[in-house]
Structure 1
């Protein structure tokens, strides 16, 4: 049995490597993106994730989960997993200098863990303690770390060099310290299933896009920028033409 599992793992990695090699040098020049210098490797991984892992594992699991689990139970599971994230939100808020947000996350955890019965019911939101999600990737961004290259991981999906470090810290390191490994894995499974189930109604947008890979990348990077700036991302800088610059200089000298 152990040998079969080892062989399955090696077969999986071998398939990924074959896809990587096959996809290299297949990126059209017009699709070059400075945010995505590893696109020649990212694209085959994306294809493997969508055509193999998602099609045969993740999506069927999410569909089955949504069919057999009543919505009230799903809501309770989501509330409970969000409640377990509250200490992580509080820690990251504090590291980012958002002391009041950190206090709100601590209060939410205390209220929902007691009155909300281990977080199954989100009582805190009903009394005005609004959730303030923060992650370590955002913390690194606040500290001045750049995004780094866009990355696509087998079975994990899109990320960046900065965010993958934050995701590992938030998803495994901090929860393992406070919850233990079984609870951490259980929380992660629920989050993955819920996230995939929530995307089923939006599948048409992805499938109908001219380039699903670029569509997913743009959506992911825009969302990360939005979250990093707490919903107020800076407006992109627009380069002025020589005529506009000359006009500005003229009016400044009046």
Structure 2
């Protein structure tokens, strides 16, 4: 039996979600419905499954065991190798945004870490002040004004959006990721996932103690997307109600 590639699976997944989004695009009677979350009735059960079951019984214990039993130096080195494979995509995505200096840094990082750093196991580029800054194709789309698209909760994985899923799909076509076989790529993604889940341990309490963990995570997700698109300097947005209140106040003091 032929195992389907992750690209094929992702195409089917995105097309299916877009079809569902189209079917559920009828106006809602709820005046407080989030326009970014037209699939909330589907996303909420997916989030319950992801956080209360998949994370609690699989991801959380696996990442805790990984962090506890794997030597720190080995963990760091393997994680560096996994992230080093993303540098070529960062080069292209920076160039697409005319971020030439960032593209040069990513180029220097990849060349230095892939050679002297033993395929990225070590990170000598950081000693030169060349900090890692992953740039994704989803951020490229965002910089050109493409919206986030509907919010998605990928079962077992967590928050996402149509733009991010499309961006991740394109990023996988960049060399060397496109040349990596299915199973080695699964190992790479597992390493990245375990490290990212381990780093989330500090935020677990905030999620568990929030009034609505679904809304809390969704809002944090979109804030992070905006933070990345604007390179840490997102514009300050004022909603219509606040703007009207501000104008009324200014009229009073004139």
| 1:173 aligned residue | 173
State the SS of the aligned residue for 1:158: strand
Cα deviation, residue 29, structure 1? 4.6
State the SS of the aligned residue for 1:35: coil
| 1:152 aligned residue | 153
| 1:90 aligned residue | 91
- Indicate if the aligned counterparts of 2:87 and 2:109 stay in contact, CA closer than 8 A: yes
Runs of 5+ unmatched residues, structure 2: 3-23
Runs of 4 or more consecutive aligned structure 1 residues displaced over 6 Å after TM superposition: none
Cα deviation, residue 198, structure 1? 1.3
Structure 2 distance, partners of 1:242, 1:102, is: 44
Instruction: Give the paired residue count.
Output: 227
Q: CA RMSD in A?
A: 2.8
Which protein, 1 or 2, shows the higher relative CO under an 8 Å CA cutoff with sep ≥ 6?
A: 2
Structure 2 distance, partners of 1:71, 1:177, is: 29
Seen in structure 2, the aligned counterparts of structure 1 residues 77 and 242 have a Cα distance that, compared at 3 Å, is closer
Structure 2 distance, partners of 1:67, 1:100, is: 38
Matches within 5 A, 1:1-254: 29=30, 32-170=33-171, 172-174=172-174, 175-239=176-240, 240-241=243-244, 244=247
| 2:6 aligned residue | none
* TM-score, normalised relative to structure 2: 0.80
Structure 1 distance, partners of 2:66, 2:75, is: 9
Structure 1 distance, partners of 2:203, 2:35, is: 28
Cα deviation, residue 31, structure 1? 5.7
Indicate the structure (1 or 2) with the bigger Cα radius of gyration: 1
Seen in structure 2, the aligned counterparts of structure 1 residues 176 and 244 have a Cα distance that, compared at 3 Å, is closer
- Indicate if the aligned counterparts of 2:85 and 2:177 stay in contact, CA closer than 8 A: no
Structure 2 distance, partners of 1:53, 1:113, is: 35
State the SS of the aligned residue for 1:214: helix
- For residues 3-51 of structure 1, the C-alpha deviation after alignment (integer angstroms, 9 at most, x for no partner) is xxxxxxxxxxxxxxxxxxxxx9xx9957621221211110000001122
Cα deviation, residue 126, structure 1? 0.8
Structure 2 distance, partners of 1:247, 1:39, is: 39
- For residues 73-108 of structure 1, the C-alpha deviation after alignment (integer angstroms, 9 at most, x for no partner) is 111122111211111111111112212211110110
Cα deviation, residue 119, structure 1? 0.9
Structure 2 distance, partners of 1:243, 1:114, is: 57
Seen in structure 2, the aligned counterparts of structure 1 residues 86 and 93 have a Cα distance that, compared at 3 Å, is same
Runs of 5+ unmatched residues, structure 1: 3-23
State the SS of the aligned residue for 1:152: strand
Cα deviation, residue 236, structure 1? 0.5
Structure 2 distance, partners of 1:243, 1:203, is: 37
Which moves more between the two structures, 50-59 or 122-131?
50-59
| 1:19 aligned residue | none
